[in-house]
């Protein structure tokens, strides 16, 4: 299998607000920074048409802006109603100040 790391946005952009959006390999991503560690999930909520990158990050939990469902950014797991289906999550690495995401 081929491991593909895709360069996305500057890490500084994520660190500033805790959450930011990016695109990689045709995938909309939400990128998170929690205590200096970076995480990536798909950006689209599994409950409806909302973007987690517009949501509110509290610790490791991202709250959906539409119905306040919760996901754990470390795993994508749905941890708060009304969300029951996990987000996809992706490996992230920091290189030369940019976040690279393994989307495939």
User: Does 83 engage in binding with ligand FES (CB under 6 A)?
Assistant: yes
Distance CA 19, CA 103 (A): 18
Longest dimension (CA), the chain: 39
User: Does 60 engage in binding with ligand FES (CB under 6 A)?
Assistant: no
DSSP state of 45: -
User: Does 69 engage in binding with ligand FES (CB under 6 A)?
Assistant: yes
- Among the listed ranges 19-27, 29-37, 64-72, 87-95, the one in contact with ligand FES (CB under 6 A) is 64-72
Distance CA 69, CA 82 (A): 5
Which x/- pattern, by CB under 6 A, does the window 7-46 give for ligand FES?
--------------------------------------x-
Locate tokens 């509110």: which residue? Answer: 56
């Amino acid at each position: 299998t081929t491991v593909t790391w895709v360069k996305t946005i500057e890490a500084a952009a994520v660190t500033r607000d805790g959450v930011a959006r990016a695109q990689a390999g045709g995938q909309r991503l939400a990128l998170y920074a929690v205590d200096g560690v970076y995480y990536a999930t798909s950006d689209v909520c599994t409950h409806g048409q909302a973007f987690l990158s517009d949501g509110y990050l509290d610790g490791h939990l991202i709250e959906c802006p539409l119905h306040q469902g919760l996901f754990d950014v470390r795993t994508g797991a749905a941890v708060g109603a009304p969300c029951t289906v996990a987000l996809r999550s992706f490996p992230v690495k920091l290189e030369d100040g940019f976040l690279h995401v393994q989307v495939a």
